[in-house]
Amino acid sequence: MTNTLSGRISSGPSALLRDELLDPQFAYEAEHLLPYYVQIERTLVAEYARMRLISPGQAGELDGLLRGATREVITGQQQANMSDIAFALERHVENGLSAPVPAWHLDRSRNDLQACAQLMFARNRLIGAARSLLDFQTAARELAAATVDLPMPGYTHHQAAQIITPGFYLAAVSEHVQHTLRRLLATYDGIDACPLGAGAMSGQELPWDRDRMASLLGFRRAQPNALMSVASRGWALEITAEFGVLGVALSRFATDLLAWGSSEYGFIDLPDELSGISSAMPQKKNFPILERIRGRSSHLSSFHIDVTLGQRNTPYSNTVEVSKEAGAHVYQAFEALRSTTRLFTEVLRHLSFRTDRMAEVCEREFLGGFALANSLTLREEVPWRRAQVIAGRYIVAAVAAGRRPAEGDPELLRRAALDQGHELADPAATLGDAFDVGQALRRMRSSGSAHPDAVRTALGAQQEEHERLVQEWAERAAATARTTGEDGNGSAREPHGG
């Protein structure tokens, strides 16, 4: 039996190609994709047996040899197989057969084999990413529920604007993550189509049952078009795009926490084990973990750009450029999301809010200007834009007079209104509790507002949706685990089935 793999060339790859391209690729696939290659090969053996191209005895022997194709075994045969994992797997089985099986590897291509293994890996890691995000959302929602009644200043344009609560803010964090989980679930279902059986690009000559193979590998369906099966790596674009969009939001949330943790604000604190120090200034307590989270979230966008640039302007067919180079950092994209969400979850689980500092700002800023303008219109029938002017003039006068917001001065309000041509019927009642910190939240009546009851309602709805998403993702995980042994945590257990 000859040991050559092709009649087209007579020598193996050069040392340069092995060092720079083939050996690193082989090591990556042996580490992360081998279990999927093995499961695919076992499924193909089952198809050969169904088509009666191999006997039950041959099928059993092939399956047994494939089960024994461990990373150590395959790596030991690397140099004899052009540093190609598919060739190494093929040679391992052939060398172990008691007799040749002529039909094994009949009507086959590496193209759909590689596309399928890569997609199975990505599908598994996506389940793991969803679990991380579900944990993160739980941490945000629980902290929100514990802080819905703590007044704090909300900022627009970097200026104190209205009174909110940490619970209201964190409910937004939770809602955003939940939105991402829904989008990732749709992405998962959209890519849950098996490429196997597409061949090199135009299909195969034997009557492969692609639906059966898809089912054996835990896919919902076969990819309908053979060319798309091997040419597209759209799943890499879609997954990293969602990661990139989420990374932008995570960076914004981290930016707020960085500001709130500064000495100027002093709204939040973290335990010492999540904090840092200055090497030169002993008075400082730093929060470098927040800087790490914001910095690490940028990689999520970078990896999407990398995948995008690697695929654009390439032919729509199977190419190494798309199947290997364009996906060179997909693994790192999953790792970046895992690490970022793990760090952020830990922060939320240990974050505490300094109610005294938050209350101090709420009480010194005239955050009831909006409420005063509303009162002027509703009580005194002052046109809305004019009411805004009067409220602004009142605040300027109160600051000049050294008044604090809670020290309402009806006379100053009366004068401000007169300056705009309005005689107020009851300045004291109009001023009312516009600048009362305790009433600011309870004045809000619209759904989705910062009113503590509205926040609790929103969190309740999020809890219900969270439970639904947990169930949805668990169903996807179970479907793949039953057939492929995937654990959803970035690796695959010993395959079974097929």
Domain limit, last residue, from 106, 133, 155: 106
Tell whether 187 is covered by a domain.
yes
Tell whether 490 is covered by a domain.
no
Same domain, 392 and 315: no
- Extract the tokens encoding 385: 């834009």
- Of 187, 239, 219, 181, residue with least CA distance to 468: 181
Question: How many CA atoms lie within 13 Å of 346's alpha carbon, on the beta-carbon side?
Answer: 14
User: Cα–Cα distance between 315 and 310 in angstroms, integer?
Assistant: 12
- Of 202, 245, 232, 251, residue with least CA distance to 122: 232
Same domain, 98 and 120: no
**CATH number of the domain bearing residue 340:** 1.20.200.10
In the numeric block, the tokens 């981290």 are attached to: 254
Same domain, 241 and 156: yes
- From residue 348, alpha-carbon distances to 137, 257, 274, 289, 301 in Å are 10, 10, 11, 12, 23
Same domain, 298 and 322: yes
Tell whether 10 is covered by a domain.
no
Same domain, 100 and 126: no
Tell whether 498 is covered by a domain.
no
CB neighbours of residue 454 within 10 Å: 19
Please report the pLDDT score of residue 83 as a whole number.
77
Please report the pLDDT score of residue 12 as a whole number.
75
Same domain, 116 and 100: no
472 neighbors 187 (Cβ within 8 angstroms)? no
Tell whether 2 is covered by a domain.
no
387 neighbors 377 (Cβ within 8 angstroms)? yes
Span 347-360, average pLDDT: 97
Q: Which residues contact 397 (CB under 8 A, 6 or more apart)?
A: 409, 412, 415, 416
Span 50-54, average pLDDT: 97
pLDDT digits (tens, 9 = 90+) for 62-115: 999 999 999 988 887 666 666 789 999 999 999 999 999 999 999 999 999 999
Total tally of structural domains belonging to the chain: 3
Same domain, 98 and 118: no
Please report the pLDDT score of residue 3 as a whole number.
52
Does residue 160 register a pLDDT over 70?
yes
Same domain, 153 and 166: yes
The helix/strand/coil state of 110 is helix
* Torsion angles phi and psi, residue 165, rounded to 5: -140, 160
Same domain, 57 and 31: yes
Span 372-381, average pLDDT: 96
* Range ranked top by mean pLDDT from 8-22, 283-297, 470-484: 283-297
Cα 370 → chain centroid: 37
Tell whether 37 is covered by a domain.
yes
Span 465-470, average pLDDT: 98
Which residues make beta-bridge pairs with 401?
Answer: none
- Extract the tokens encoding 39: 């499961």
Please report the pLDDT score of residue 28 as a whole number.
92
Domain limit, last residue, from 89, 106, 123: 106
Same domain, 345 and 423: no
Tell whether 120 is covered by a domain.
yes
The helix/strand/coil state of 420 is coil
Confidence of residue 6 (pLDDT cuts 50, 70, 90): low
pLDDT digits (tens, 9 = 90+) for 176-232: 999 999 999 999 999 999 999 999 999 999 999 999 999 999 999 999 999 999 999
pLDDT digits (tens, 9 = 90+) for 242-286: 999 999 999 999 999 999 999 999 999 999 998 887 778 777 788
Which of 104-126 are b and which e, b meaning 16 or more Cβ less than 10 Å from the residue's Cβ? Answer: beebbbbbbbbbbbbbbbbbbbb
Same domain, 32 and 53: yes
Tell whether 443 is covered by a domain.
no
Cα 420 → chain centroid: 53
Same domain, 29 and 135: no
User: Cα–Cα distance between 3 and 482 in angstroms, integer?
Assistant: 37
Span 43-67, average pLDDT: 97
425 neighbors 447 (Cβ within 8 angstroms)? no
What is the residue range of 176's domain? Answer: 111-356+451-484
Q: In one letter, which amino acid is 117?
A: A
